[in-house]
Amino acid sequence: MPALQELESAYLRWKGDAGFRADLDGMLREYAGRPTPLYFAQNLTKRAGGAKIFLKREDLLHGGAHKINNTLGQALLAKRMGKHRVIAETGAGQHGVATAIACAALSLKAEVYMGSEDIKRQKLNAYRMELLGAELHSVTAGSKTLKDAINEALRDWATNVNTTYYLIGSVVGPHPYPVIVRDFQSVIGKEIRRQMLRREGRLPDALVACVGGGSNAMGTFHEFVERRGVKLIGVEAGGAGRGKNAASLAEGRKGVLHGMLTYVLEDEDGQIRETQSVSAGLDYPGVGPEHSYLKENERATYVTAKDGEALRAFHLLAEVEGILPALESAHAVAYAVKMARSMRKDQSIVVTLSGRGDKDVQIVAKEAGVNL
Amino acid sequence: MSEISKTFAGLAPREGALVAYVMGGDPDPDSCSKVIDAVVAGGADILELGIPFSDPLADGKSIQAATVRALSAGTTPRRVLELAKYAKEKHHVPIALMTYFNIFYSQGFENFLRLARSHDVDGIIIPDLPLDEASRYARISRRVGVDNILFAAPTTPAGRMRMLASNTSGFLYLVSILGVTGARRSVRRSTLALIAFAHRYTRGKVPLAVGFGISTPEHVREIIRAGADGVVVGSSIVDRVAGYREGKAKVLRNVEEYVRSLKAATRG
């Protein structure tokens, strides 16, 4: 607890500091590649036959996903706090890679916890982290996926709290993490707003983003929460259907996991359930508590896309727009296409493409029955 | 006065209480009752009974492994409560139930607490219930008549230590070192200093029991001499249960003798 208070006061101190902002903005612009384009997906729009679909291209960032917005911010914070050892958890490996990148660039030592099952599914990302100088710890406890990697990272932090900064990758965990990660990711929504006003002269009618822990969705939504005219839609992993998914908001109950009260997938005794999704990055039995709040007060709507729908959206976007989306982001694309159909042509949807799909090519091939 | 408080009050001068941890349902619910028998026969003053939880954040490898054994043997929270009732009826030992908050929360905190009380549970230990949330649950616990045992850690500053000492009941559980549960080779000098620091806030108010990492009679002696009113030993008991399948009579004898050696050490 004192560690969380120390983190909160450090964050509050530095977030308004002009030098800190300048360092972060400089890194985001010159190193990570911000601002990212807002692309009018003409062919996809034509295919859907309804509202205009715009893609917020977080997939073009250095490292291949939105994760770097947060890791650069928190790594700079770690440095200001005088902590030179950084630990992180990772599911699909995107946050691990983004942590390794930020730490290499800022000369910090990075150690990443990753479930052994996820390492098997995402060998490439696991090796990328090592290439980037991070030390990889394989976690063999429990379901051997993201939640177990978080457990192990929290145990490490409890042991080494005086010297170590825990760099959480999503809007989850104990306060102040959900706030810190949301704030660093909110650059996504801020840019969308500016870009839509410049291009279309108005705000979009809907924002669509995938939700695992929910960081890219929170980053997309935050700027628009007070603008009631903009619908906020989060798309969870519907997996193989009822009971076999990672849809905490759609199928879960309120529970306490990883230091937060939020919707979780659990059995009748309160044991956390194992999740299932074709995308490792959405494979988490909880969700950021602010999403639970937005669901309860009905400001945002949460839906699901199943594995098959996400895979079809992956192929569709590749074929008509020449973009391979991460399987996580493909969930958002799948729902946006469906939604656009029921909307007028003068309306618009922005879909956040949270990451690129290169890491998923092997899974997609396997699902298509192709032997690489 | 609760059963747990009475136990501390009834100790001889300079004697410490031995709080012995057993993972409920380890290695399976039926055999667990035999483990409980052995631990009590060895002289445990208070039985800390764990309900296995899928995500035991505060626990190291030993108790994680016990969790897996218990859950794969089909142990449910209700089955562990039956074990508590069994232990109380057979041995009249005070029982502190240890588990993570979601096990309580999913059934409704008060609802599950009442159920636990009706199964003779005297106290609860919830490592992921932070102090800032604890006071409202402490109120419910008082109403139901169950001790809500809170944790203090090496990073706990003075102000918080004072709040913990006045909010906890039964005893204050002092975590000896930064980190998770699990046997350590020696007691650090910092732990002894920590006991002296914590004691300033608990003395005359509430007993102080020290846990995490304690695994030998020598550790127990050092901790009690440093001024603690009790010790909590868990992982190294659980480690001995791990071999149950290979030879249960030997394991039970080993557990009983081990607990006896710890209890002897609480007397100096």
pLDDT tens readout for residues B28-54: 999 999 999 999 999 999 999 999 999
From chain A, pick out residues whose CB is under 8 angstroms from the CB of B131.
1
User: Is the minimum CB–CB distance between A155 and chain B shorter than 8 Å?
Assistant: yes
Mean pLDDT of A271-280: 92
Q: State whether ipTM is beyond 0.90.
A: yes
Q: What is the pTM of this model?
A: 0.95
Pick the residue of B106, B164, B177 with the most A CBs within 10 A to test the interface with A by mutation: B106
* CA distances in angstroms from A130 to A119, A153, A154, A240, A349, listed in the order given: 12, 18, 21, 33, 38
Pick the residue of B57, B79, B82, B129 with the most A CBs within 10 A to test the interface with A by mutation: B57
Q: Which amino acid is at A325?
A: P
User: Is the minimum CB–CB distance between A158 and chain B shorter than 8 Å?
Assistant: yes
User: Is the minimum CB–CB distance between B176 and chain A shorter than 8 Å?
Assistant: no
pLDDT tens readout for residues A203-257: 999 999 999 999 999 999 999 999 999 999 999 999 999 999 999 999 999 999 9
From chain A, pick out residues whose CB is under 8 angstroms from the CB of B102.
255-257, 264, 266, 270, 272
- The answer to whether B234 and B63 have CB atoms below 8 angstroms apart is yes
Chain A closest CA to B134's CA: distance in Å? 13
User: Is the minimum CB–CB distance between B103 and chain A shorter than 8 Å?
Assistant: yes
Which of B53, B64, B100 is closest, CB to CB, to A141?
B64
User: Is residue B145 packed enough to be buried (19+ CB in 10 Å), middle (13-18) or exposed (0-12)?
Assistant: exposed
Question: Strand A253-257 relative to strand A260-264: parallel, antiparallel, unpaired?
Answer: antiparallel
Asked if the Cβ–Cβ distance from A158 to B76 is below 8 Å, we say no
pLDDT tens readout for residues A317-338: 999 999 999 999 999 999 999 9
Which of B55, B64, B180 is closest, CB to CB, to A158?
B180
pLDDT tens readout for residues B172-230: 999 999 999 998 888 888 999 999 999 999 999 999 999 999 999 999 999 999 999 99
- What single DSSP character describes residue A325? B
User: Is the minimum CB–CB distance between A271 and chain B shorter than 8 Å?
Assistant: yes
User: Is the minimum CB–CB distance between A163 and chain B shorter than 8 Å?
Assistant: no
* Alpha helices (H) in chain A, listed in sequence order: 2-15, 18-27, 42-48, 67-80, 94-105, 116-121, 123-131, 146-160, 177-185, 187-200, 215-221, 248-251, 289-296, 307-321, 327-341, 361-367
